[in-house]
Amino acid sequence: MILHSISTSQSLSHGSNMKPPTRDGPAINRLVDMIQREATDAGATVRRWEGGPDRGDVLLLTPPGQDPASSLLMHGHVDTVHAHGSLTGTLMPRVENGRLYGPGVYDMKGGVLMAFQEFKRGLAKPRDYPRALSLMIVPDEELGSLFSRAITEEIALAYKAALVFEPGAKNCGVISAHKGYGEYVVSTKGKSAHAGAWPHAGQSAVVELCRQILILEEITNDVIGVSSNVGLMSGGTFTNVIPEHAIARVDLRFADNEGWEHVKACVEGLAAVNPAVELKIELTVHQPPLTEQSTALMLSAVQQAGRQAGLKVHAESTGGSSDANMIAGVGVPVIDGMGPEGSGAHTPFEYIDIESYAIKANLLRTLLTGNFIN
Ligand SMILES: [Zn+2]
C-alpha cells in the first residue's frame, strides 16, 4: 500500500525520477512545479520564493485562511547530493528485500512524501486535525540552506511548532538534537619572492597558514563536545615562488551555545605567528545547535502519540545539522527525524525501509489527528 502510494503519488514519484541535484535550479523547479500543481488541485494556498537558476524555489503550502499561530509547520528539502545520471547503476529505483532504493529516497524524499500526503489529507478532512498543517519545501538544504534559511526562519516564527522530515533513526527513532555548525575562512597574505634568487625576501603565506591549521585542529575537545576540521586548503602559485596567498576553510561543530562561544573565541582569537604575514578570519556560516530543550515539547507529543499507536518512540542525537537547527534557533518548538528509516544517505546505496515508512506514517497520522501538541 505504501509502495503503491510512493509509486503513484504524482509529484514525488516523478520527482524521484528527476532526482534534482543541488545547484540545478531548473531540475529542482520541475519537481517544485509538480508539487505545487498537485497541492493547488487539492485546494492549497501557495506561496513561492524564486531562488534563481542555481538553486530552485521555496514553496509554502497552506490551507486557505490558515492562522499560523495555532498551526503546525512541516518542513523538508527536495534537493539531493546525487548528480544527473545516477538513476542508473546502484541507485536505479527499485524494490528489493523490503527496501526502496533510489537517489534521495532516504535524504529526504520519503519524508517529504509522507508530509505531503498528510498535508493533502488535512486539506480534505480538516475536522480530523486539531491543528491545521502547512508544508514548506526548500531547494538548497544540501548547500547549507543559504537562500532558504531566512525564509524558513521568518515563516517558522509565526507557527505554534514544526516537524522536520529528515530520515528517522532505527527502531522508530526521531532526532531530538543536532550539533550546531560553523564555518570560517582563514586566509593569509604574505609577500612573494623568487624562491631561488631571493629566498629570504619573501614571507610565505602557506607556512603561516599551516601554523594556523595546527592550532585550529587543536580546538577539538570531546569533553565539551566541540570539534574542528580544516577540510580545505590551498595556496601559492608555482613551486619557484614564495607564496603570497593561502586560504583554508574550517568546519566547527558544537553541542550547545557555550560550545559555540568557545570555538568562536578560539578561531577569532587567532593571531599571526609571523607578524609580517597578514591573517584574515571570516565567519561564513553559523547554524545554531538543535538542543534537547528546543525539542522537548514535540518529543513528548510524539512519544505520547507513539504510545497510543502502540509504538515505542525513542530519540537520538546526531552530529550533522538540518533545517531543524534554524527553526530551533528562532525559538519555535521542533522535532526532526520524522521521515522513514533506511540508510546510505549521500551514497550510491541509498534506500528506505518500506515497513518503516508505514510505521512512521501511522505515527504521524496519530500525532496530527490527536490532541498531543498543547
Ligand atoms: Zn537531508
* Domains observed in the chain: 2-178+289-369 (3.40.630.10), 180-287 (3.30.70.360)
In this predicted structure, the answer to whether residue 4 has a pLDDT above a threshold of 50 is no
The alpha-carbon radius of gyration of the chain (Å, integer) is: 23
Average pLDDT estimate for 101-115: 94
Question: Reduced to 3 states, what is the DSSP secondary structure of residue 233?
Answer: strand
CA of 8 to the centre of ligand 1 (A): 23
In this predicted structure, the answer to whether residue 2 has a pLDDT above a threshold of 80 is no
> Are 94 and 152 spatial neighbours (Cβ–Cβ below 8 Å)?
no
CA of 124 to the centre of ligand 1 (A): 28
**The predicted structure's pLDDT at residue 89:** 78
Helices marked H in 218-291 — which ranges? 257-268
CA of 132 to the centre of ligand 1 (A): 25
CA of 28 to the centre of ligand 1 (A): 15
Q: Model's pTM, two decimal places?
A: 0.85
> Are 9 and 15 spatial neighbours (Cβ–Cβ below 8 Å)?
no
> Are 114 and 352 spatial neighbours (Cβ–Cβ below 8 Å)?
no
Helices marked H in 82-192 — which ranges? 110-124, 149-156
Alpha carbon distance 157, 139 (integer Å): 20
CA of 21 to the centre of ligand 1 (A): 12
CA of 165 to the centre of ligand 1 (A): 8
CA of 370 to the centre of ligand 1 (A): 27
CA of 128 to the centre of ligand 1 (A): 29
| pLDDT tens digits for range 250-283 | 999 999 999 999 999 999 999 999 999 999 999 9
CA of 19 to the centre of ligand 1 (A): 13
CA of 170 to the centre of ligand 1 (A): 16
CA of 321 to the centre of ligand 1 (A): 9
| pLDDT tens digits for range 216-246 | 999 999 999 999 999 999 999 999 999 999 9
| pLDDT tens digits for range 173-228 | 999 999 999 999 999 999 999 999 999 999 999 999 999 999 999 999 999 999 99
Average pLDDT estimate for 80-94: 79
Report angle CA 176, 117, 19 to the nearest 5 degrees.
80
In degrees and rounded to multiples of 5, residue 275 shows phi and psi of: -65, -15
| pLDDT tens digits for range 315-328 | 999 878 899 999 99
What is the DSSP track for 136-151? Answer: EEES-GGGTSTTTHHH
| pLDDT tens digits for range 52-82 | 888 899 999 999 999 999 999 999 999 988 8
Residues with CB under 5 A from ligand 1 (ion): 107-108, 166
In this predicted structure, the answer to whether residue 1 has a pLDDT above a threshold of 70 is no
Alpha carbon distance 199, 279 (integer Å): 21
Alpha carbon distance 267, 216 (integer Å): 7
> Are 191 and 276 spatial neighbours (Cβ–Cβ below 8 Å)?
yes
> What letter would DSSP give residue 80?
B
Cell for 340? 522513514
CA of 32 to the centre of ligand 1 (A): 16
Cell for 14? 516523478
CA of 192 to the centre of ligand 1 (A): 44
β-sheet with 226-235: strand ranges across: 226-235, 245-254, 180-189, 278-287
